[in-house]
């Protein structure tokens, strides 16, 4: 068993369903400590809370280089995993870390414990070959990425920024690949802005609409304009901003009652051509126009999951692209598609360039999640070459 496979299986055997890390970060701290990393556990949240503010364990491990002005490369990842569902449907027990048919099977195999193992082993080899490396290397590992993400990476980077920590590049090990290892490199992510719109009218009998105010009827024209609006054209790196409705709830369940209110949940996945503030202003302008002469009123609650971020072509992206090409022969394609990642916290708070690169994402969050064993060895080599290009 290779060092990468050995560390991967050790991590996969820990049933670290969000927000419980079990022993994952202790295992990593022991491994990294032997390489000269200074390891620190940071806890945020309430230890007596079992809900959104539950206490989260985070690991920040750093090995300083010989030149304080050289590049600081941070690897970011998470040890928490999503629930397994019905275990009887799995070919192998989800926390058995079974190696079979050329794959490593288990929850977290692709999302994303194995990437952490790959980077750790790559650091081991790199440090052996370059004991006097110039740049700093660090790992930021949380147990709160798959959950509400309140007391994980976000709180850690706020603490690091408060200390005056500098971070130049951040390599996030999320499973970015789609068909073959390294075919997709995430060099940015769209922002995510959530809205809860509440339109209030007046409840009444459906046979006497003149005595009531139907909030659904008052909302329809505004909702039609919101969904038809072109928010921007996108740019060379991002598709156009998308607004999607996810929920509409109104009514008492009776067919003869005009409801008092209707609630609508919608989301913007937005590019760098807009900001959360600009989208809010545009939305309120549309709603104000439609409700100006209405007897119904509206209220809207906003929540921002993350601003968009982008790492343009340059030293960091070039290092990642060339490392993939050297190991696999694949020409990695830059992409900003998909959902959000913890890069949304690291990029703006640390003012760091962020790139995501990991194994295939074809089985993430699924029953029988797995990763090709050969890909683990190749990803370790890719990470090692990135270190060679940036930290020496």
- Alpha-carbon gap, residue 304 to 310, rounded angstroms: 17
Does the annotation flag 290 for ligand binding? no
Is residue 208 packed enough to be buried (19+ CB in 10 Å), middle (13-18) or exposed (0-12)? exposed
The answer to whether the beta carbons of residues 156 and 368 sit under 8 Å apart is: no
HSE-CB for 189 with a 13 A CA cutoff: 25
Residue among 299, 300, 297 nearest 215 (CA): 297
Distance CA 204, CA 209 (A): 7
Alpha-carbon 12 to chain mean position: 20
Is 205 annotated as ligand-binding? Answer: no
Specify whether 145 is catalytic: yes
Report d(CA 199, CA 205) in Å as an integer.
18
Catalytic residue among 145, 369, 375, 388: 145
Catalytic choice (14, 21, 80, 218): 80
388 as an active site residue: the answer is no
Q: DSSP secondary structure string, 291-350? A: HTT-SSEEEEEEEEEE--EE--SSHHHHHHHHHHHHHH---PEEE--SS--THHHHHHHH
The end-to-end CA distance of the chain, in Å, is 29
Tally the C-alpha atoms within 13 A of residue 325's C-alpha that lie toward its C-beta.
Answer: 9
According to DSSP, the residues that pair with 184 across neighbouring strands are 333
Check whether 365 is labelled as a binding-site residue. yes
133 is in an annotated binding site: no
Residues annotated within the binding site for Zn(2+) are 78, 111, 146, 174, 365
Residues annotated within the binding site are 78, 111, 146, 174, 365
What positions carry a catalytic annotation? Answer: 80, 145
């Amino acid at each position: 068993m290779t060092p990468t496979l050995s560390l991967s299986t050790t991590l996969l055997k820990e049933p670290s369903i969000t927000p419980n890390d079990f022993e994952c970060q202790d295992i990593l701290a022991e491994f990294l400590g032997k390489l000269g990393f200074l390891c620190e556990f940071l806890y945020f949240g309430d230890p007596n809370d079992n809900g959104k503010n539950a206490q989260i364990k985070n690991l920040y491990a750093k090995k300083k280089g010989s030149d304080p002005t050289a590049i600081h490369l941070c690897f970011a990842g998470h040890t928490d995993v999503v629930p397994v569902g019905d275990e009887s449907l799995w070919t192998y027990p989800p926390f058995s870390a079974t190696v079979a048919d050329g794959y490593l099977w288990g929850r977290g195999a692709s999302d994303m414990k194995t990437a952490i193992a790959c980077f750790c082993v790559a650091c081991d080899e790199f440090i052996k070959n370059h004991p006097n490396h110039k740049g700093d290397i660090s790992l930021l590992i949380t147990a709160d990425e798959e959950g509400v993400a309140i007391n994980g990476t976000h709180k850690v980077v706020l603490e690091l920024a408060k200390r005056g920590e500098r971070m130049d590049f951040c390599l996030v090990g999320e499973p970015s690949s789609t068909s073959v290892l390294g075919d997709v490199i995430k060099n940015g992510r769209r922002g995510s802005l959530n809205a809860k719109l509440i339109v209030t009218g007046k409840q009444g009998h459906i046979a006497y609409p003149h005595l009531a105010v139907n909030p659904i009827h008052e909302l329809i024209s505004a909702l039609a304009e919101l969904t038809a609006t072109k928010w921007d054209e996108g740019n060379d790196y991002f598709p156009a901003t998308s607004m999607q409705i996810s929920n509409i709830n109104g009514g008492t369940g009776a067919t003869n009652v005009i409801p008092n209110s209707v609630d609508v949940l919608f989301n913007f996945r937005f590019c760098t051509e807009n900001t959360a503030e600009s989208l809010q202003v545009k939305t309120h302008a549309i709603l104000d126009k439609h409700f100006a002469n209405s007897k119904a009123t509206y209220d809207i609650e906003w929540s921002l999951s993350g601003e968009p971020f982008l790492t343009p072509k340059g030293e960091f992206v070039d290092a990642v692209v060339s490392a993939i090409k050297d190991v696999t022969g694949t020409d990695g394609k830059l992409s900003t598609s998909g959902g959000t990642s913890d890069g949304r916290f690291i990029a703006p708070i640390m003012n760091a360039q962020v790139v995501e690169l990991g194994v295939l994402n074809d089985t993430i969050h699924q029953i029988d999640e797995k990763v090709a064993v050969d890909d683990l060895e190749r990803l370790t080599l890719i990470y090692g070459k990135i270190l060679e290009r940036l930290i020496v």
